[in-house]
Amino acid sequence: MHLPMLKSPDSYRPKACRCGCERLQGHGLRERHPLELVVDGQPIPVVNIRVFLCAGCGATWRVLPAFLARCLWRTWDVVEREALDKPRPRSAPAVPRRTVQRWRARLAQSARLPVQVLVVAGGLVRDLAERVGLEPTRKELLAASGGSLAALAVLLHRLAPGVRLM
Ligand SMILES: [Zn+2]
């Protein structure tokens, strides 16, 4: 799905910048090099992503496709599978043990900051924050969200850029 969307810049163009400007101009492509990305049995070493430039404030926006994990070297499906100890398909390469330990340790950490972000955001996400209480782990917050790691991480990033789930 990413490749056809990449051909049409509008499909990835953000609606507006944080400054309020709605004129985001295409600013070319950048490469991401995710580790062990395999699609239909073929390794994909490079993924192009769209970059946009705000005409109002000059900010650049790098828009990641949903399968790429922000700030991590692997795709969300790999991170979720390994961090939550789900079965690995026979064809999938192993992830280094230290990496998996780091991800699991992250999920065991307090979710105090993500919960605060959800509370401030209000609406349905505030209901989620109220369900888990003040001191859940990130794993407990994920379980209460009923969604995927990717969905919760993207939500947090949209609400408060820089707040990471993983
Ligand atoms: Zn702007």
Q: Render pLDDT for 8-26 as a digit per residue (tens, 0 to 9).
A: 777 889 999 989 999 999 9
Q: How many domains does the chain have?
A: 2
User: Residues 97-126: what's their mean pLDDT?
Assistant: 92
* Cα angle for residues 44, 158, 126 (degrees, 5° grid): 130
Choose the final residue of a domain: 33, 68, 103.
68
Span from the CA of 17 to the centroid of ligand 1 (angstroms): 5
Of the three residues 68, 99, 120, the one that is the final residue of a domain is 68
148 and 79 in a common domain: yes
How far does residue 13's CA lie from ligand 1's centre (Å)?
13
Q: For residue 160, report the distance from its CA to the centre of ligand 1, in Å.
A: 16
Q: What's the mean pLDDT when you consider all of the chain?
A: 89
Q: Are residues 82 and 162 in the same domain?
A: yes
With b meaning 16 or more CB within 10 Å and e meaning fewer, what string describes 78-106? bbbbbbeeeeeeeeeeebeeebbeebeeb
Same domain, 63 and 79: no
Which residues neighbour 34 within 8 Å (Cβ) at sequence distance 6 or greater? Answer: 44, 47, 68, 73, 74, 75
Tell me the one-letter amino acid at 60. Answer: T
- 48 and 82, same domain (yes or no): no
